[in-house]
Structure 1
Amino acid sequence: MASAKQDFERFIAWLHQPENEIPSSVRRLANLMFANFDDLAQTTRHRSMRSVYLTGLAREELAQTSDEAPVAQVAVANGAWPWKRLRNLTIGPFRGFRTPEPFDLQKRIILLYGPNGSGKTSFCEGLEYALLGSVEDAENKRIAPRVYLANLHEGRFTPPVLTATDHQNRDVDVAANEETYRFCFVEKNRIDAFSRIAARPAGQRSELIAALFGMDQFSDFVGHFNEAIGGQLVLEPEKKLLLNARREALANDQATVDGDEQVLEALDNEEADLAASHSAEMTYTGLKQLIGSEEVPGRLQELEGILNALPLAVIGLTRAGLLQAFEAAQERHEQVGRIETALAERSAQVSFRALYTSVLALQDMEGDHCPACDTPLTGPIHVVANPYEKAQVGLAQLRDLAELQENLATSQAEFGTASRALRQQMSVMNRFVTAHLEEETAVGRYLAQLPAEPAGVWWAALQSEQQESEAVSLEQLLGVADRVATQDAAAVLAQQERQRNIEERDGLNELRLKVQAQDLKRQQHVANVAAAKDRISAFDEANAELIEQVVQEKLDIERDVPINAAYDRFLTEIRKYREQMPGGLMAGLNETAMSLYNEFNRNDLDADKLAELYLPLTGEDKIDIVFRGRPGVRVDALHVLSEGHIRCLGLAILLAKAKRIESPLVVFDDAINAIDHDHRGGIREAIFENENFLDMQLIVTCHSNEFIKDIQQHLPQRQRDQCSVILLRHHTGDYQPRITRKVPAGNYITQARAAKDLLNDREALAASRQALEMLTEKTWGWMASHDLGFLSLQLAGVGKEPALRNVCDAILKKLKDAAAFNHASKAPLIAAYGKIVGIPEENLVWTYLNKGTHEEANRDDFDTEKVEDVVQTLETLDMIELRRGR
């Protein structure tokens, strides 16, 4: 319910405190933001929306904004409350209320219950609007109040009217004040959010603490400031730097013009050196002429033409080589002839050698008899001469014949090689003849008709002394070989000349590239000088707009640099303030919050209750606790407590804050439903039965009729007349909640007394039974808190509940037997239970108390005096102190 604007206003008040020593520019910026808060709050950090808005606003208005603290619109709650109790609320048309509806709020405890959608939330939002001037849900959902608060069927809303009783018991109108009444409300949503605090990173826990106190809107508002606004400001002299760079370029241009003569002289020297690198007397112009170009060819083009011509190849055919090949072939031919003649002369020996070889080949198969006649080699009848021995002797005598045969094979191979070598020479000669177009000459025809693989003495015709007119002689071929040799000599000379031409061409090509680079260098210099002269003459005209921008940029920097510095400091301070919020909110709450937490968790083991509680003072601090069972050991509450215990801690902190500021009112807006059932009894006892909040008005909305009933049952007798119950139900078609203002008392003892006063003993006993059950449970719990909780009970059977009288008997016996137990409530309890138990069990009263009061025909009348005794005894028992641990 706390609006970010009012929290921001408190920040500004803090910012203007002299001890903080905040610069004037920062205070002026904060004042400017506050003056435009509504528009500023609509912006976010997304796409730098907030920094863009702030930049435009600061540029226009910061200089005219005062640095004095604005007039405070909120009051600080300091215990001086303008009233002590609410009196009446009239609401409607407003949200779920279509027509005006008055609510009497004069009682200290106001209990409203009803089903969901019956108007409880609208009632609380009416109180919220009347006390705070706004409704948090409308702000969270960013819905305009006129839309959110309007009744759907009336299409409008009327501000609720709230009156109260002041300290002089006068009726006064309640004026909405966010700051004063912000901590009067305890909401379910806040406790739900606080229970999830353990799942948040440490840096975000301060935001949830702020949410617990209804200050999350301010935390969210602070979170939407961008880290910096420099991106939207002019902080650096970029235009000036650009102009200076251009002026530096202009200075370079002037230097280029001034150094023109020196550069040209240096270029002349470079060109002369380049020409001299060719030859001492060469000039640069002469060098360019020597190199030439496509338009005017020179020596380089001439050399390219020469080198592009196909050079002569060295054939390698000579007279000596051809003659040597011819002689080698002839010599090998003659050698083969001599060997063949020798072999022919010994042809008979060749046959014997073959015979001897065959005989020896049969020795392995026919070794014991003659292979020709089968005569045994040994024995009575045997051959005259051993054929195998004779073969071995014969082969030994013919060994030179074998060598002669091997020489023949070798000579024939050598002859083939020499023949082919000669034929190769003839092939080379044939190509030469063909290249010179001499195919039709005698030599050409001879060479052309030679087979590729000639056999025998194919060159014999060259040796014939009787030659025909078309025959070719060896001398003619040798003459062609001489012509080839002459051409080869010329080709060698041409190759040597070609290499000299290549070297000369490469040298000229290298000079050509250097000349081109040198010419380009001169051209660039001339162009640079011309361009520099043009820029110098046109600079001011060309940069007139930039010069004006530089002047404006200086003014912009003088304006924006203070804005940037002020924003950076402002952001630091507002974040520091937000980080300090937990300390400001929770200061002095440790003891009270811990005491309430332990009361909420009355059923926990004593070792699991808190001995110390340390609430955070900054956004980075933890909630530390010390358990009674581990004295001196501080642990992080959010790591060790269950979600249910964390919810109890959140509620305890809120109520401790209300007590701290001495709030006259606490409104529980469905807050009880945020607490699990296990803790509701402890919370009910701490809030409604103990003395924690006796000086506060308590307004509770809840859809649980059972919880409302329990409050009424356990409310101390002296406070029951200060409790009012209101029932809200759904409309019946007119869209206006149905309201029952005089709900009958829900307390069983009150109901029993009312029925007895009407002489309705049946109803009196029915309520008495329920009252006795409630008081007996309360007594048993009180005894357990004093270590007297173990009772011996008789059961009617397996799975049966103990009879109420048996429980009362067991309690009475336990109290009487506890001789060492002394307490002010002990004797009254013994007396009261003794009186109850003293009624005979067979009496009709106990029949009803034990089994309930059901309709039965022909039943005897009740013993009126006994019924009165029961009711009086219950009233006495109700007045005894039975709070646990008391």
Structure 2
Amino acid sequence: MASAEHDYQLFIQWLHQPDRETPEDVRRFARLVLDNFESVCATTRHRSQRSVHLVDLARQRFTTTDPDQPQMDAIAVGAGWSWQTLCHISLGPFRGFRNVEDFDLSRRIVLFYGPNGSGKTSLCEALEFALLGAVDEGAQKRIDATQYLSNIHEGRFVPPQLAALDAQGQRVVVQADADAYRFCFIEKNRIDSFSRIAAKPTGQKTELIAALFGMDDFNEFVGQFNESIDTQLSIQPVQGQELTQRRQAIAHDTELLVGEAASIAAFERVEREYADAFQTGLTYAQLQQAVGSAEVPSRLQTLIEILNQPAPALYGIRHQDLLAAFSVADEAQKLVEELVGKLALQQDGAAYQNLYCAVLELQALSPDHCPACDTTIVGELHVHANPFIKAEQGLVHLRELTLLKQRYQAAIDQRRVASDNLRRYFANFSQRVGATVNSEHELLRYLANPGFQPDTAWWKIGYNPTAGGVSLSQQAVNYALQLEAADTAIQQNLKQRAQLITERDRLFEARIALAEHAERRKQASVAIAKARQRVDVFEAQNTALITAVVEEETRIAAEVRIQVAYNKLLSLLRHYRSELPGTLMAGLNDLAMELYNEFNVRDAAEDKLAALHLPVTGDGRIELSFQGSPEARVDALQVLSEGHVRCLGLAILLAKASHIKAPTVIFDDAINAIDHEHRQGIREALFQSERFANTQIIVTCHSNEFIKDIQNHIDRAQWLSYTFRHHTGDHHPRVLRDLPAQAYLINARAAIDRGDHRGALQPCRQALEMLANKIWRWLGQCNQGVISVKLAGIGDQPSLRNLCDGLRARLNGARTFEHVDKQPLLDAINQILGIPEQTLLWQYLNKGTHEEQDREDFDEGVVEQLVALMETINSLRLRNP
């Protein structure tokens, strides 16, 4: 495999690029593989051949191998997955599981078989809840999650506990992430709905890009690395586990001691932050001093004493307001007096005004005669002048007098308002200073009773000088000025008092916070002191075991160093392979198309797909072209049968999972959603191709034949099987573990191991029937599938002997057909058929399947030879050249 070695050398160069920052041990392991490339390349992952060889090399030469490159750190691989494979799930009570059940998921393929209603869907929903955080089926049915997930007999559910292995082989708890893991699930409903992705909102779509690994020699070389070398390493800390179990008793104490410094630092940080938040630049000690205590009074106690004194009250009197009130009243009085003078000057006009008004009021009663002399207004004998016209004309001349009277009445009202305002001011003034009519001082008596008389200028009495020469009104103004000055001083005092109250309240809060903080710190100190005492006692009692654990850790460290380097190297190898030119497909369209064609491998060539176009817009359709007319694009849902539509849905989902490098794909009865015609192609594509060799596959299925076919075609080390049966009255599924495998050769080998030679022959014949069909399909893939087979009659199937003869003849006749598996396969078939020497092998294959009485025992050596030949054929890869 010169090309593989060349590509590996390119990988070494890529590994040492400065931006890779690959760890030294990874580069050392890579160099170890390069130095022993031929021997490593000669091994396969079958029965862990390669991992056994690599561990042997690493134990001998790992530490002495020179990395010959600068030290670098490792790069990440994959699409950011935090784990590589699921390894365990514990569930119950949950849905159909009433009690707790634990399932080992550590194999690449995990099979769950059972009839409908036996618990398979509940298991898948447990995986869905653990990976996605919810179960879509319950949401679609609009059932409350707690109700939907609860076991109806227990009335509750416990969230499943799902564990996985990360890139270093360490066990981690899987955290739910709907966006990351939703395409890990493939179930019947999604097969139907995913093909109609164009009907979904744009926000639910994922970018349609995917890539596949190539099939060249380097990929083959990389593919033969085992997933893990853990089983070949001695990394179990037996004494360490014992010490760990013992340390569980003081685990909490150990955690306290480990976090002691961090705890103290956290307390100190809280103190600094609180003090600085209280006042910038203030230390915690200064804050404690300001808070003080009853024994050591400080600023807080001083503030309390100050604020316990009653606060002074404001008078609220302004001399300008009093002067303004006097001024307004004086102005109103002055206007009244002015208008009174003007009215006096027009006293006669006022009399005439009244007369004219009276005449006009009588006009309605006597419109044709004078109201005074009863003379007609118009006629032979008439008045000299019309009294009504004269009255109207007179009132026009006296209109100014009318307006003067109106102004006078308005002035009276204005004076009344000013008088009332001044009276109210005096009432407020007297109330503020506590003045009464019985006060000792004349000014206070004046304020209490300033001599109010309605509709008079009563306030002017206060303008009269007193015996002291200053009027009472002026004394009131002077007094108001004094009170105003006093209010200014009081306001300043109240402002300072408000600041003191704020300071006191903040110090009160600080005193409470400091006391609570001090109590927490004291409790933490006491807990740490007690923990230290208990740990000291433990260390003294387990001195010998602790010493032994240190020695054991040294031994394990060397093994773990190899393990970590191998895991990282394998990750980088696969990452590099994914980036190699020519090994990437253009996109998800091509990958889905290839999967679809693999599922339908037995369709006519013209009915297979030449192109597939998945929708990339909200109104797009799934379109495809057939190889029979590649230029025509048609709507997939219109032209495909129901079975082919389901295959297309499954291909799209698998392509998506492959695109995101999903470490695990979970099938919930999805295989049963596909008709029997396509199941063989699906099985071969999923379980027998390299495409999903690095993907963990979990399958639930109620098809026993499908499970049997998987077990017969897959290496036993890669799969683990569980069987679910209906409950027997306890309403909990019966979970059957460690059942005999349905794989023919496994059963045949087991029969030999227990000495049952007849029991080994029947599965041998079944295995040969299976292998003969497998060989025939392989020859067809290599364009050598046309064989001649004798038939007993019309419509009959070829007998097994005739089929084997036909295959042998085809292999012998295809002289230009070269393949690494051709000669080993031909040798095995010749031995089974007894060519050129007659043997008992074929006779045993026939006789071992029928019941015979008093028959001689089967020869153990012949049976062993027959089983070994079957195992040899089964181990051949039988791939396209």
Q: What TM-score comes out, normalization by structure 1 length?
A: 0.46
Larger of the two Rg values belongs to structure: 1
Q: What TM-score comes out, normalization by structure 2 length?
A: 0.46
